[in-house]
Amino acid sequence: MSSKKSSLLYPWRVEKRKLQIYVMEKTTIPIPRIHSYSITGDNILGLPFLIIEYIDGNTLYSIKLSALERKKRRHLYAQISDIYIQLYRQKFDRIGALTLTENGNWTFANNCPLTIDVNEQEISGLDTSQFLVPGQTVS
């Protein structure tokens, strides 16, 4: 395995994948399907990897909204609104890191919230996870 640290080795990547599964199960929000992944180097490649479905289209960053026809702009705004509404309708009894348990239930009980910032600090060599209490969430 490469000595270079990879963000796929850290817990937030695993939780992000589980969150993608939740969104795919509970909404109609288009998310690329995950075909295969490994968060460690224990595979034929010897590296962490992620193989996801390709979705054709444009990113919002590549679209000049003011140049869009009014009808297309309204369609885009309707799509974005639908995504926000579907996310808003997901109700939870606490704040924390949603995760999928081994028996297929969604819970906040197994881990504390992790952010991309914490992950980046870990990659750069800071041991920030030593301050995170395992299994603690915010209620």
- For residue range 46-66, list pLDDT tens digits in order: 887 888 898 888 888 888 888
As a whole number of angstroms, the distance between CA 48 and CA 50 comes to 7
Q: What is the pLDDT of residue 110?
A: 54
Is pLDDT above 80 for 109?
A: no
Per domain, the residue ranges of the chain are 57-91
As a whole number of angstroms, the distance between CA 18 and CA 98 comes to 8
CA 4 to each of CA 1, 39, 41, 92: distance values in angstroms, whole numbers, following the listed order: 9, 14, 12, 37
Q: What is the pLDDT of residue 82?
A: 97
Identify the sign of the CA torsion 22, 27, 31, 33: positive
